[in-house]
Chain A
Amino acid sequence: MEGPTPVSALIHAATMVAAGVFLVARVYPLMQAGAQPGGTTVALTVIVWVGAATAVFAALIAIAQNDIKRILAYSTISQLGYMMAGLGMGGVAVGMFHLITHAFFKSLLFMGAGSVIHGCRDEQDIRRMGGLKVDMPLTFITYAIGMLALCGFPLLFSGFWSKDGILEAAHGWSISRAPFYLLLFGVLLTAFYMTRQVCYVFFGYWRGRQTAHESPKTMTLPLVILALFAMALGAIGTPAWPWFHAFLEDRAVVFDLRAMADPRLLALMTASSIVVIFGLMLGWRFYGDRSPKPEAPDALEKIAPTLWAGLRDRLYVDELYGATVVAFYNWWARVADWLDRCIWGGMVAAVAALFGLWARFSRFFDRAWIDGGFDKGCEELSTGGGLLSRVEGGRAQNYLRILAAGVVALVAILLWSVRP
């Protein structure tokens, strides 16, 4: 959404965000593996509930946004929920049909928004727009077509047929009726927030800074083309002539008006139409033809200010991620770094220090004990030698005395040995 509008139109409407839906459709046999006799599996059930919840969750948030493209972005998320739910309950063709109709009318809406932004000289806040149906008529008409297709306005618009296909599948889901009601509620919300947006942007009077002007043909021509598709594409997916579904399932297709006459089908189509129109009227009731000042609180905000604040702040999902995933990521990165520097690195440093200590001790041991021991021994020897050397004192008188003593002793022994 932060990207330039054509980029948004391409990736956020048609291609990138649809990749997940496409992936599920592609591996559908895996999803269906081990199906219960009713055709449901755990995988598909999970997808359904997540899709239905997403549809409502995102639609709620879209109600309270003020950036023209952000409303469309959350709308896309909501519609993706529909697609997923459709895949889960109705099969590949149901989900994919809504994917391709959505691609056209959502890119139409994004392009239209781009045209509006360009015409308002890079203003994106819908509270600073208004009355553009006069200044930008072509944009207005094509945008309205896209908006009606998105809401699922009966019969003439592709969105009706594709969304109804999903609702029909939801109605017939064996596990629970709840997703059906959720999705129906989502239809109401979709109509409501789109009406709000259109009223803010195109109705009322101009609240912006500079005057607005229609965009050049290079911008409006694609809008027209897309609008045509947004209307006509429904034809390939009506119950009377379900060409798209037959194409995907590789079977022949027959044009059969009587298929439309199925009572259940008719009842559903009527019900959804009523909901759509009710939503449109509700939206008009709150926002139609008024132009509150940009700083003034929104009409709904006056009624339920805390709820509004929560919805405007996108139900704090981003903050939740920030506080959990992102915070954990950053914290764990610091832990990893600390482990590396202090623990593993510390162990290596400890080993090195240990060897250094042991080395110093060994050196001391060598010098003081082993070496010192030998030196000590030598000293003792030389001292002892010194003592002994006194015998060889060099003083002749001592020698003579000892000699004399020795001779006396020898003679004594000799005399003793020869005594008779």
Chain B
Amino acid sequence: MNGIPILTLLTVLPLAGAAVALFSGKQARGVALLSGLASLAVALFVWTQLPADGSIGLVERAAWVPSLGIEYHVGVDGLGALMLVLSAIVTLMAVDAAHRVHHMPGFFYGLILMLQSGLFGAFTALNFFHWFLFWELSLIPAFFLIKLWGGPRRGPAATQFFVYTMAGSAALLVSFLAIFFSTGSMDFGYLATLAQTGALTPMVESHLGSAMPWLAAGVLAGFAVKVPLMPFHTWLPEAYAEAPSPVTMLLTGAMSKMGLYGLLRIALPIFGVQIAAMRTPLLVLATITVVMGAWAAAAQTDLKRVFAYSSVNHLGYCMLAIFALAVPAAGAAQRASQAAALNGAILQIFNHGITAAALFWFVAMIQFRTNGLRGINDFGGLRKPAPIFAGLMGIALFSSLGLPGLNGFVGEFLIFRGVFPLAWVAASVSILGLLVTAVVLLTVIQKVFAGPTPERWAKFPDLHPSERMALTPVIVLMFLLGLAPQLIVDTINPTVMNLLAHWRF
């Protein structure tokens, strides 16, 4: 590159935006939108600058605290760049959805931008200290966004979210410190190389005895809480429901992806052997997440909780793929399946981020129009007074359902294509999740949009032109990625192959 530290700039840009937004009062939303658009432009630029062979590019390195193995080391490959683009898009969506924040708007948008900075930092970091810094710091704006602008039970919801995640993070930290102690390095790349050559376990054993499985469990615990993996997910429904909907968009669209990214960047490369040894229980948990997440969604009456559990279900597919591909000594056919599963998981991460954020956006719009109502039984026949709204939300719902032609299908298809040969029992049981999700989301359409229109919704306002304009790119993206997923896959696949070549199970 020509020497400009793009990734550092990208990470700092939202902070600058936040600083301005804090003091902008009523103009804060405009500032946030500008900042968001700038971030998106930079992120897309990064996307185009990736090395063709799928390795990590745009690297910036500077010594920080050498005696502690702490280094300022950032870089992205296809996976990281996709996460950056996703974060940028979802933040923009969230800012746009939050157009009626009356209470301390400057602070609200400032916190959102700070959260975005945390996301960018976590997705570009290649050294544990740096990564952990952003991983933890992003919790603070998230907490206050829920606590200060959330619903009636926001206090307990935000606290549980914060403390539970921190508990997982503490386990992760302690385990990683043991790795650092044994190897003297906090660099993800170096540790992955050690693990691939089989040198890591002996190193750890010479210092700590047979601690590797415990360390792997500790690291997994941190991610299991964040993604989440059942049964470590109980903070999620409350947090998603009580957070203001734009914040929920960020939580589901981007923050949950931090956990999955961590699994791919840290857990699988470094603890691949241990994860392969724990594969069966992990697959069981992932399958439970898929199936029970979908079924729990079926029992909810609050739209936000329906989508919250549905998110748990969709993220479960990603974890299914990730754990399924931890097969030791894979043959050629299995390698093809692994590639499919990993491509699918990454695609699903992106597509779910967009679609889930869009769904919560629609819920936000419903809430604005009905003074906060969001029960599934509160509505009916809305497609008569608001056909465009019904149509666009219907598209988002079908995308979430996995209808071919929309973006939600591609990721799920590839995941099943990959997981079936590798773990057919888990895949077969997870199909139930697809079925139940379809029923749940169709029920939402039926209860909210179809049927007779009650008197009080006869005047339900349809989408304003500004809302239509804001939503159009998202809907177009859903179709575009559903019909031409190669737009993403062409860039991701080299990274996938590169990652798989370096992972050892």
Contact = CB atoms under 8 A, between A and B. Distances in A.
Interface of A: 329-330, 332-337, 339-340, 343-345, 347-348
A257 to B, nearest CB: 47
Nearest to A338: B299
A339 B292 contact: yes
A366 B233 CA distance: 35
Contacts of A345: 234
B436 interface: yes
Contacts of B298: 329-330, 333, 336
B376 to A, nearest CB: 13
A344 B295 contact: no
Contacts of A347: 231
A275 B31 CA distance: 81
Nearest to B163: A352
Given A329-B439, A348-B164, A336 B292 contact: yes
The 10 closest A-B pairs by CB, nearest first: A337-B299, A333-B298, A333-B299, A336-B296, A336-B295, A344-B231, A345-B234, A344-B234, A336-B292, A333-B295
B230 A337 contact: no
Interface of B: 160, 164, 230-231, 233-235, 237, 292, 295-296, 298-300, 436, 439
A344 B289 CA distance: 12
Contact of A340 (B160, B164, B234): B234
Nearest to B296: A336
A340 B309 CA distance: 10
Nearest to A326: B439
8 contacts: A329-B295, A333-B296, A333-B298, A335-B295, A337-B299, A337-B300, A340-B296, A347-B231
A418 to B, nearest CB: 77
Contacts of B296: 333, 336-337, 339-340
Contacts of A348: 160, 164, 234-235
Contacts of A334: 299
A206 to B, nearest CB: 33
Contacts of A343: 231
A332 B439 CA distance: 14
A347 B164 CA distance: 12
Contacts of A344: 230-231, 233-234
Contacts of A333: 295-296, 298-299
Contact of B237 (A329, A330, A332, A340): A340
A279 to B, nearest CB: 40
Given A329-B436, A340-B234, 17 more contacts: A329-B298, A329-B439, A330-B298, A333-B296, A333-B299, A334-B299, A336-B292, A336-B299, A337-B300, A339-B296, A340-B237, A344-B231, A344-B233, A345-B234, A348-B160, A348-B164, A348-B234
A221 B214 CA distance: 77
Contacts of A339: 292, 296
Nearest to B436: A329
A357 B298 CA distance: 36
A275 to B, nearest CB: 41
A347 B237 CA distance: 16
**Most chain A CB neighbours (cut-off 10 Å) among B234, B237, B300:** B234
Given A337-B300, A348-B160, A348-B164, A332 B234 contact: no
A334 B237 CA distance: 15
A345 to B, nearest CB: 5
Given A337-B300, A348-B164, A332 B233 contact: no
Contacts of B300: 337
**Most chain B CB neighbours (cut-off 10 Å) among A329, A337, A344, A347:** A337
Contacts of B160: 348
A333 B291 CA distance: 10
A333 B298 CA distance: 6
